[in-house]
Amino acid sequence: FMRYNLKVESGKTYKFSLWYKTKRGKISITVRNTETNKNLCAPSIVDTVEEDLEWQYVQTDFVAPDSGLIQVVIMNNSTTINNTKLYIDDMSITEFR
């Protein structure tokens, strides 16, 4: 479980994107409003029981809350698998212009 706190411009539309690869498990990555803890977006991460999965690209859009305070939250949702691994590359949040 990891959290990254960020401040962005309020009311602006952003693109959240990343490349990922998982090994054995169920992972979730969300962007949340820090003040309300509500999800602003949650890119679809493929669950796998395979030993390895090829690199996958996901992207989704969200609108920044009034405060501009957001968190990127990464969680292992596998309750029965101990050796879940997640590899992330080129994670970014960019403003639409």
pLDDT digit string (tens) for 5-44?
999 999 999 999 999 888 777 788 999 999 999 999 999 8
pLDDT digit string (tens) for 55-79?
989 999 999 999 999 999 998 776 6
Residue 73 near residue 32 (C-beta atoms within 8 A):
yes
Reported pTM: 0.86
Q: Which residues pair with 83 in a beta bridge?
A: none
- Cα gap 31→36, rounded to integer Å: 12
Q: Name the burial class of residue 60, with classes exposed (0-12), middle (13-18) and buried (19+) by CB atoms within 10 angstroms of its CB.
A: middle
Per-residue confidence (pLDDT) for residue 90, from 0 to 100: 95
Per-residue confidence (pLDDT) for residue 30, from 0 to 100: 93
Residues 6+ away with beta carbon under 8 Å from 56: 19, 20, 21, 45, 46
Per-residue confidence (pLDDT) for residue 76, from 0 to 100: 79
Per-residue confidence (pLDDT) for residue 59, from 0 to 100: 94
Per-residue confidence (pLDDT) for residue 46, from 0 to 100: 73
